Structure 1
């Protein structure tokens, strides 16, 4: 199994002391520039988080298209798009266009999303669950229609006055391979099994919205094993992809120590708490000397089980600092769990 690494940016921006991303334009332009820098380092992926009603990245497709136009090899993705907010057919058009611009390098993570700053924010976008339907049901129905549309399903009736027939129409443009590069962001073992049954790749982050008392990496590795088993049982013919996220901060300079050298001890072990009305287990952060972090990640059961590790970056510290961070991980940390630089064209 080829190991890949990528960065994951939440795209925060705020005019506060120390922030290099003070405006929305800063966050957008710096995301593009960090993708370029990561590609030069041989990093495999550049991923962005999507949040609404917050000073963070929110509209991924213009950004992904711009990143695609400025790079040539690196995978470009989301982790994740909250499908409660999306018009599935418009999203299918935008996703296909961005994918074609990038040379078919998109890796789109979608899901029900996480708790948002807005109360019932998707309703402000015009999307209200039907009677008896949950937010999760709404996200899944939007995802189903989106996936059908990018696969070429006919989703509209033709106008005979324009087409000369009474047939049906598919959305345009289309990217023929995009359907194999859709990932479901899963927070439980059960939803991972569901994603496998649907034929989607799996994204699992630094938290799971359940807790069995075992360490986070072991619970996540169990989730991945259940996903792979369900994938095999479903009879899908292609090999699935699995990504996990980790917070990794190697300390190699005085600047690193100033930013992250103190106060990290409280995040060096799993945390258990309540999220969105239920018990959740949060994975630890990896902060310290590169050789120590390398050994810890090499022993992380989920890192070993996944093919892709997404590294969350402190984007408000700017492109130069985050490129330094990724370079340190690429040289001194990631090889310990089987990664090597990628300077070849990205593949689906």
Structure 2
């Protein structure tokens, strides 16, 4: 178990990529600028949430393709792509293409299960096959197999004068399959991800199974993953808002945001008994102290801190800058030049 003196190995951030539905261009451009800033500040990774039928990035793979041409070092990931919306074969082609464009920097994060508001969208998403779709873990396994280069077709070879056909996904990007992450919030998901040789993303939402203490539950899941896959990577994602260089107005806005979200963290929510972690706000020194006391954080050496959903571009600049220049070093991390 990492102690407060053990250095944090990898520091990343996650954004939803919020935009105005009436004028979506500026929001998408801001997201790309935030990723560029992350690289300049020395972050190890930048991740995009995946939001369908909302005013957040609906196609992170496309946005990350653009980001590959504006960055050269920072790892790029999705956290997470819900595979209930995807055809694994087609997604494998897109992911491999972006990985090639990035020079091998893509980290696909995925999850399974019925899409949110399934009854409202299934007629549009799968008009003829909704009741037949397999939305289980097998959807992840299919994606990983295609990324690894297993056959996707029974035909390969030349057809006609110039057309060459492959029986596997093209382009093939060696190593991409080993960079797939599973985003889970239950003990079963953690164990399954480990057994499959995947990496594991744990976030600010977990299922209450053995306790009603978020940190304890998260630590238990990480331990279960590691028992199944000792060599696998695991990353924790919490909402963290350092205020070292924030203005008085920003501090007031941040505090109101955190306070409004706090009631949902008191007890498990809904039939699934999902628990939400409180957002961490304060100086980098204060946040580092809280993290070092957090059982979930103490089990990891990689983090992907989530940016709040609804802030302005200037707020994200301040939060990322303080994270890289103050909070990261307080956790033993050093930015990459």
TM class by shorter-chain length?
0.7 to 0.9
Q: CA deviation at 1:3?
A: 1.9
- Is 1:27 the equivalent of 2:30? no
* Deviation string, structure 1 residues 171-211 (Cα, Å, up to 9, x no partner): 21111010110001111011110111111100111011224
Partner residue, 1:340: 334
CA contact (8 A) 1:52 1:58 kept: yes
Q: Residue 49 in 1 paired to residue 49 in 2?
A: yes
Deviation of 1:215 (Å): 2.1
Whether 1:273 aligns to 2:273 is no
Match of 2:142 in 1: 145
Q: Partners of 2:104 and 2:214 in 1: how far apart?
A: 34
Q: Residue 179 of structure 1: SS of its match in structure 2? A: helix
Match of 2:311 in 1: 317
- Which residue pairs with 1:155 in the alignment? 152
**1:55 Cα deviation (Å)?**
1.5
Q: C-alpha deviations, 1:16-43, integer Å up to 9, x for none?
A: xxxxxx7322222111110100111111
Partner of 1:201: 199
Aligned residues: 324
Q: 2:4 corresponds to which residue?
A: none
Assess if the C-alpha contact under 8 Å between 2:284 and 2:330 holds in 1.
no
Tell me the TM-score normalized by structure 1.
Answer: 0.85
Distance 1:290-1:324 versus aligned 2 partners, 3 A rule? same
Q: Which residue of 1 aligns with 2:324?
A: 330
**Does the C-alpha gap of structure 1 residues 114 and 331 become closer, same or farther in structure 2, counting only changes over 3 Å?**
farther
Moved more, 69-78 or 6-15: 6-15
User: Aligned partners of 1:183 and 1:120: how far apart in 2?
Assistant: 28
SS in 2 for 1:202: strand
CA distance in 2, matches of 1:48, 1:124: 24
- Contact 2:14–2:306, Cα closer than 8 Å, also in 1: yes
Q: What corresponds to 1:172 in structure 2?
A: 170
SS of the equivalent of 2:289 reads helix
Match of 1:255 in 2: 249
Of the three residues 154, 179, 187, the one matched with 1:189 is: 187
Q: Secondary structure at the match of 2:239?
A: strand
Q: Residue deviations 1:263-318, cap 9 Å, x none? A: 6356568432324x321111111012332112111221212212321121135434
SS at match of 1:169: coil
Q: Which of 286, 300, 311 is residue 292 of structure 1 equivalent to?
A: 286
Change (3 A) 1:100 1:296: same
State the Cα deviation string for residues 4-27 of structure 1 (Å, max 9, x = none): 121111122237xxxxxx732222
Please give the alpha-carbon distance, in whole angstroms, between the structure 1 residues aligned to 2:248 and 2:211.
Answer: 37
Quote the residue 1:19 is aligned against: none
Q: Secondary structure at the match of 1:287?
A: strand
Match of 1:5, SS? strand
Q: Closer, same or farther in 2 for the Cα pair 1:74/1:315, shift >3 Å? A: farther
Q: Give distance in 1, aligned partners of 2:113 and 2:120.
A: 12
Give the 3-state SS of the residue equivalent to 1:261 in structure 2. helix
Structure 2 unmatched ranges of 5 or more: 1-6
Give the secondary-structure state (helix, strand or coil) at the position aligned to 1:208: strand
| 2:299 is the counterpart of 1:305 | yes
CA distance in 2, matches of 1:274, 1:77: 28
Structure 1: give runs of 5+ residues left out of the alignment.
16-21, 233-238, 344-348
RMSD between aligned residues: 2.6
What is the aligned partner in structure 1 of residue 3 from structure 2?
none
